[in-house]
Amino acid sequence: MTAWTARELADWSAPHLGRVEDALSRWVGVDSPAQLGDAMRYAVLGGGKRLRPLLVLAAGEAVGGSAAAALRAACATELIHAYSLVHDDLPSMDNDVLRRGKPTVHVQFGEASALLAGDALQALAFELLTPDDEPEVTPRMQATLCRLLARAAGSQGMAGGQAIDLASVGVMLDEARLREMHRLKTGALLQGSVEMGVACAATDVASGAAEALRGYGAALGLAFQVVDDILDVTADSQTLGKTAGKDAAADKPTYVSLLGLDGARAEAAALLERSLAALEGSGLDDTRALRALAHMVVDRDR
């Protein structure tokens, strides 16, 4: 099975991204009190790489899962990601004013609205996962998707990683501890996205395949953060769409500060290989989209 070119990935992604944008636009901030709905839509729509939704959809297709369930799961992961950015940007956290090239939510709508919008986005993620009018998304899928998302987002996932991050400013973490922080802060939701795609299968997925996809997700999650750390020092703010160099400025530990730039690049390459090897061993027929997404994560410039 030959690997996809970037063009083939783009051809695969385009219709999926279209469905995700359309669904988010229909589901987010509609029938909400005016200012809250506006802030929620501002936080979610019209920006972002939609990496997590693409991982859900690619994993869902690899296991022949329900497209309706995967679309809901894809949107739910993006809502959790979006809420975490809104809260992360608040003055009491990173105090950032620029995100995806636009003023952050609290700059645009005020701190209280940003706080509430983030809270409401988290709740909406679980609401999207539990429709009462889509029989194809079975109660078992709904329950499993909620379980995976809650674990990925919570104190032993994303929120836990952010707490370690918060406690580690100015502290020299060793590699094991840095890895643990990122496994939780960024990795848990990326890995969770892959697992949620798997959970959209109508029948049980072979345990070897599920395990392989978990390994893929874990390696990809770490690779994503290593590349983020590299871009923080090598890219400019305009390309990133957010403030570059801020981790270094905040004296936050990063893979680059720990391993050096060349060491971090070697680490990213090794993690890419590990994620691809996991796919090879999965026994699944078609993992080309997942392969291409792993390459995209490591080769991106923003």
| CB of residue 164 to its own copies, shortest distance in Å | 5
Nearer to its own copies, 13 or 65 (CB): 65
| CB of residue 115 to its own copies, shortest distance in Å | 6
Nearer to its own copies, 137 or 230 (CB): 137
| CB of residue 193 to its own copies, shortest distance in Å | 15
Question: Do the Cβ atoms of 231 and 302 come closer than 8 Å?
Answer: yes
Type of residue numbered 140: R
Nearer to its own copies, 29 or 48 (CB): 29
- Please give the Cα distance from 256 to 266 (Å, whole number): 11
Coil, strand or helix at 101:
coil
* Structure-token pair, residue 278: 């996991």
Three-point CA angle 249, 183, 80, nearest 5°: 85
Coil, strand or helix at 136:
coil
- Please give the Cα distance from 80 to 64 (Å, whole number): 25
Tokens 């909400």, residue located = 32
Coil, strand or helix at 167:
helix
| CB of residue 121 to its own copies, shortest distance in Å | 8
* Structure-token pair, residue 222: 């770490």
- Please give the Cα distance from 37 to 133 (Å, whole number): 23
| CB of residue 82 to its own copies, shortest distance in Å | 13
| CB of residue 78 to its own copies, shortest distance in Å | 16
Nearer to its own copies, 168 or 243 (CB): 168
Of residues 161, 240, 189, 242, the one with CA closest to residue 56: 189
Nearer to its own copies, 2 or 203 (CB): 203
Nearer to its own copies, 151 or 300 (CB): 151
Footprint on this chain of its own copies (rule: CB under 8 A): 29, 31-37, 40, 83-84, 87, 90, 92-93, 110-113, 115-116, 118-120, 122-127, 129-132, 138-140, 142-144, 146-147, 149-151, 153-157, 159-160, 162-164, 166-167
